[in-house]
Structure 1
C-alpha cells in the first residue's frame, strides 16, 4: 500500500467531505495520483464515497492511533513501554522478532494500522480493517529460561481482559489458553513467540489482536466473534484501549517475571469463561471428546475431567475448547 493512500485517509478521517483538489494540493500530488491512491481504500476495508462537486468522504470516521495520546493515557506506565506506530507492516510480531535479534530492549512495542500478513494461532490469518482493529506486539525480556515461561499466554490474556473491563467491556473474560471472549464470542486473540536459553535469559514477543469496530467483517471470522464497539457503551477510543492494554501488560509481565503464573492463577480462574463448565475438547490429530473444566495449574495447564479421569491439557498441545453441544 502506498504512503499516499494512508496520508489521504488521515485527512479524510473525520468523516466529512474534503475537496480532492485541495487534498492533492496539500499533499503535493496531482489529482490523478490522489485518485489512484484512494482506489486502494477498499483493500483496507474502508468504504469511500466520491461525489462530484463535493469531493471524498469516508462512510465512517476513523480514529488513527497516536503515540502522544497513548502515552498520556498510560500515565506512569508509559515509562515502561517504548511505542512505535506504523501505517503498514507485514506482521508486527515478525518485525519485532527481528528487532529483538538486534538487541531491542524490553518494553519495545510496535502497533500497526494495517497488517498485510497478520497471523493468529495455528497460522490463521487475522481478520481486520483500517481503524477496525487493534494490532500490536510487545517485546519483553526475562531472566528466566524459556522453560519457565509456561502460563505466559494466560497471564497476557488476564492483562487484556482487565484492560477491556476498564474500557467498559464489562463481560470480557479469558478463554484458555490464549483468547479473550464476551459471552463465549471472541473479541481478541494472543500469539506469543519465545526464544532464548533453557536456563535463561529468554525473550518473548507478545502479539495481541483485538476486534475494535469490525461491523460486517465479523462474519468473515471462522468462529463466533464480537467487537469492542458492540460490547461497550459509550464506545471507548482506540487510543484508550491500547493505552489501558499496554499499561496492564507492563504490570502483569513484571509480576510474571517475579513469580510466574502462580500469583495470577486465582484471578485468572475467576475470569475464565469455561470455569466449571462442560466443554468439547478438540485436540489436533485426535478424536474430540466432552469433559468438565476442573482447574488450571500453576504452569498454565488446563485440568479437565473426562470419563472419570483427570486430564491435563497444555497450550503446546494446541487443544481447543468449545461449549459442549456447539
Structure 2
C-alpha cells in the first residue's frame, strides 16, 4: 500500500487537472514518487487521466467519505456509532470478523474494497466514488438461532433510507437484494446485504452486516458484472424533481440512523414487528417464481407470504413449502402455467 495514494486522490477528487510538479511540491516528494502513487491507484482499478503539460485528473469529481459529515447525518443517534473509515481493504466484513472485542455498533466503511464479498461466493464489485461499501457489527443478547429474518430487517432500513432520499423505484427481493424493476418486472440490482454471524447458537452473538450500494458505476464496470445492475444516481434521475447526485456521506449517515432504529426494533420484537412493512416492499409478492436452491435444484411456484421468522412461503406443486435459503428467479417462468400447476 502506497501511503501517498489516497492523499493524492483526495486532491484529485475535484475532477480538475493537477500537475505532477504541483503535487510533488505539496507533498514535498519527487515527481517519481507521485508517479509511483498514481500507478498504485491505477492498480486498484482507479481510472486517472494523465496529460503531458497538464498533469493528472479523475474522470469526474467524487465525494470522499468524511467521518464528521457521516456522523452529522446520523443525527441524535450518532452516539451509538463507532465509525471507522479505511482507504483500502479487502473486505469490510472480513475486517470486522477478524477484529477481537469490537465495540457494539462499530461501522467500518471503505473507499475501496479489493475483494468485496457477495452472496453465494460472489464478489461485490466496487470502485472509488462509484459505490458505498460498509459493514456494521451489532451485538445481540440472543443466540444466532434467533436471528432468522435479520437480513430482511436490514432491507427495511435500506428502503426507509431510499424513500427519505426521494428514491421510490426500489423494491426488495427476498432475502437480501434491492432491485429496480423494469416494465417486465425484471430487476436490476441496486444494493445487496451480506450477514455473517459470530457466537453461539443460544448465547450472545454478533452480526456483521455488510451492505453494498451502487452509486454511480461507469459503463465498463456495469458491463463487467454478471447480472443486470443499476446505480443510485441513475435511479434517482428517473424522478423529475431529483437531478442532484446523492452524496455518499449523507447516504451512509442516513442509513446508519435507520439501521439503529430497525435493529433496536428487531431486538425487541424480532422480524415479526417488521414483517408487514417488508412485504409492502417485496417485488415478487404473489408472483410466479423459480426458486434456485443451494443444492442446484429448482422449484417452481407462487410466492404466497413471508413467515414471522423471515422464511419464504411458496405455493408449489407439492403444496406450501418453506424456504430459508435460495434465490428467486423469473427466468423461464410462465405466470399462468405456474398458477395452473399449483392450483391457484
Name the TM-score, length of structure 2 as normaliser. Answer: 0.90
Query: Is the 1:191–1:206 contact (alpha carbons within 8 Å) kept by the matching residues of 2?
Result: yes
Find out whether 1:201 has 2:208 as its counterpart.
no
Gaps of 5+ in 1: none
Structure 2 partner of 1:63: 63
| Separation (CA, whole Å) in 2 of partners of 1:260 and 1:49 | 50
The answer to whether the aligner puts 1:267 opposite 2:269 as a matched pair is no
Alignment of 1:1-326 (within 5 A): 1-99=1-99, 102-183=100-181, 184-216=187-219, 217-232=221-236, 233=242, 234-307=244-317, 309-315=319-325, 319-325=326-332
| Residues 214-244 of structure 1, C-alpha deviations (whole Å, 9 max, x = no match) | 1211222221111001101322111111111
Name which of structure 1's ranges 7-16 and 304-313 shifts more when overlaid on structure 2. 304-313
The answer to whether the Cα contact below 8 Å between 1:146 and 1:198 also exists between their aligned partners in 2 is: yes
Deviation per CA, 1:58-94: give whole Å up to 9, x if none. 1111211000001111111211111110101121111
Distance 2:299 2:314 in 1: 11
RMSD: 1.4
CA shift, 1:285, in A, is 2.2
Number of aligned residues? 321
Moved over 4 A (4+): none
Deviation of 1:200 (Å):
2.0
Q: Deviations over 1:93-124 (max 9, x none)?
A: 1111122xx21221111000111221111111
Give TM-score, length-normalised by structure 1.
0.95
Q: 1:188 to 1:156 in 2, by over 3 A?
A: same
Q: Is the 8 A contact 1:44 1:130 kept in 2?
A: no
Give 1:170 deviation, angstroms: 1.2
Q: Which runs of 5+ in 2 are unaligned?
A: 182-186, 237-241, 334-344
Whether the aligned pair in 2 keeps the contact of 1:290 and 1:324 (CA below 8 Å) is no
Distance 2:44 2:115 in 1: 13
